[in-house]
Amino acid sequence: MSKQMSHLDNIPSTPGKFKMDKSPYIHNRLRWHSSLAKLTFWSFMFLGLILIFFFRSPSSNPLPQDPSRRSLRTYNWGGPAWEKRVRSSARIRSRNGISVLVTGAAGFVGTHVSAALKRRGDGVLGLDNFNDYYDPSLKRARQALLERSGVFIVEGDINDSALLRKLFEVVAFTHVMHLAAQAGVRYAMENPGSYVHSNIAGFVNLLEVCKFANPQPAIVWASSSSVYGLNTKVPFSERDRTDQPASLYAATKKAGEEIAHTYNHIYGLSLTGLRFFTVYGPWGRPDMAYFFFTRDILKGKSISIFEAANHGTVARDFTYIDDIVKGCLAALDTAEKSTGSGGKKKGPAQLRVFNLGNTSPVPVSDLVSILERLLKVNAKRNIMKLPRNGDVQFTHANISLAQRELGYKPSTDLQTGLKKFVRWYLSYYSGGKKAAG
């Protein structure tokens, strides 16, 4: 090795600069050639090893922190007992009921929608990968809640085509309520890959399986108010432009809407996208401001309240979960059948997008004041400039289309909704004994 190294040291880095005349090896060409051959051989070996390492090592992934990758672990599914649970959970128990595959069923909206469907006698089967974007024990608690009402959640990823095909083999779902997604606006800067994985690749995979299903299901799925991006005209209407997203999250939801158009156009899938406006309530998401503000106020930790340039107000059209659930069920109930079969379109199919908001934006500082009153604790407010990490200054929904077509009529104001949230929060975390994720 040391011998080779000495040769290596003597080989010029740029062959053009190699002056043969002055080389001490000029009289020993044979030895030099054999050394060169050895060097080439070892260089190739070395390169090969590097390549093997690069392609096999998990750290070669450009997004090593991607938590959704953990969801790619293999899940146990299949077998007669498993199929029996799937069938039983998806069995329709009321006249004119529907059978719905709910993706993201252990998520916030997914749990509430699954429970509501089950209550009215529809067949419901959940699917969730239980990733750890936020405290998975909260997802497990939601799962236990659903389990008690007879909803089985299959553990698996929407990117797993074999699993999805199997589910459609076992149950002829009439509808899919697609809520599995990588949520959160700010986290997209930390982990862009997880948004592409779930919101784009996962959605396409689901649509691919749905297009071949016989019968094809009607699909209702979660888009987002964030597609309105940097728009300044309020309230936001479905007819407004959606081509200036402020976050990768928003861009993936916008992409989802375009993908939905394509699958509707080519394969006759009936598709309804719901643009949710900052949904909150009991069993909510710990990554959302109202949730972690509550946790931090109770802990006496300071909270960051964003404001726009020149002390501009940052506001959200906060929408209570029960109103959102009603909108979701109405979207399922008014969804027309898909028209294709065997992967082929037979005729035009329904394609819809609706705003599901509350129509009354509330400044974030008012949200904090309401929480202070409900918690009877003063918040330590740290007013901060709105960071440029995906947040938009305000959202405000025009819901006349959803009102007309879905009978959607939100009825919970922020004060009432937060009261219900706080009651749940205090009982779930039993006075702060359990740490909120």
Ligand X SMILES: O=C(O)[C@H]1O[C@H](OP(=O)(O)OP(=O)(O)OC[C@H]2O[C@@H](n3ccc(=O)[nH]c3=O)[C@H](O)[C@@H]2O)[C@H](O)[C@@H](O)[C@@H]1O
Which residues are within 8 A (CB) of 134 and not within 5 positions of it... i.e. 6 or more apart?
A: 285, 286, 287, 437
User: In this complex, which beta carbon is closest to ligand X, that of residue 213 or of residue 367?
Assistant: 367
- As measured in angstroms, the least distance from the Cβ of 302 to ligand X is 10
Of 108, 276, 320, 408, the one binding ligand X (CB under 6 A) is: 276
C-alpha angle 76-143-422 in degrees, rounded to nearest 5: 150
Of 35, 143, 216, 225, the one binding ligand X (CB under 6 A) is: 225
User: In this complex, which beta carbon is closest to ligand X, that of residue 71 or of residue 242?
Assistant: 242
| Partners of residue 273 on adjacent β-strands | 221, 353
Active site residue 249: yes
Q: Whole-angstrom Cα distance, residue 105 to residue 130?
A: 10
Say whether residue 305 binds ligand X (CB under 6 A): yes
User: In this complex, which beta carbon is closest to ligand X, that of residue 244 or of residue 304?
Assistant: 304
User: In this complex, which beta carbon is closest to ligand X, that of residue 102 or of residue 171?
Assistant: 102
- As measured in angstroms, the least distance from the Cβ of 278 to ligand X is 4
Of 68, 198, 226, 338, the one binding ligand X (CB under 6 A) is: 226
Inter-helix orientation angle 136-148/108-119, to 10°: 0
- As measured in angstroms, the least distance from the Cβ of 320 to ligand X is 13
Q: Whole-angstrom Cα distance, residue 103 to residue 327?
A: 17
User: One of 187, 195, 228, 249 is an active-site residue; which one?
Assistant: 249
Q: Whole-angstrom Cα distance, residue 228 to residue 246?
A: 9
What residues from 307 to 326 belong to the interface with ligand X (CB under 6 A)?
314, 316
- As measured in angstroms, the least distance from the Cβ of 313 to ligand X is 10
Of 67, 104, 126, 184, the one binding ligand X (CB under 6 A) is: 184
- As measured in angstroms, the least distance from the Cβ of 280 to ligand X is 8
Record the tokens describing residue 265, joined without a space. Answer: 């156009």
Of 125, 210, 289, 332, the one binding ligand X (CB under 6 A) is: 289
Residue type, 35: S
Of 109, 124, 183, 325, the one binding ligand X (CB under 6 A) is: 183
User: In this complex, which beta carbon is closest to ligand X, that of residue 213 or of residue 397?
Assistant: 397
Helix and strand numbers, DSSP H then E, in the chain: 14, 13
Of 364, 402, 406, 422, the one binding ligand X (CB under 6 A) is: 364
**Torsion of Cα atoms, 236 then 237 then 240 then 243, to 10°:** 60
Helix-, strand-, coil-residue percentages of the chain, each rounded to 5: 50, 15, 35
Which residues are within 8 A (CB) of 366 and not within 5 positions of it... i.e. 6 or more apart?
A: 414
What residues from 131 to 160 belong to the interface with ligand X (CB under 6 A)?
none
Beta carbons of 305 and 290 less than 8 angstroms apart: no
Of 185, 374, 402, 406, the one binding ligand X (CB under 6 A) is: 185
Q: Whole-angstrom Cα distance, residue 192 to residue 247?
A: 10
Task: Give the closest residue to 157 by CA, choosing from 115, 209, 117, 114.
Answer: 209
Site mask for ligand X (CB under 6 A), range 381-420, x = bound: ----------x---x-------------------------
Interacting residues toward ligand X by CB under 6 A? 183-185, 224-226, 276-278, 288-289, 304-306, 314, 316, 364, 391, 395
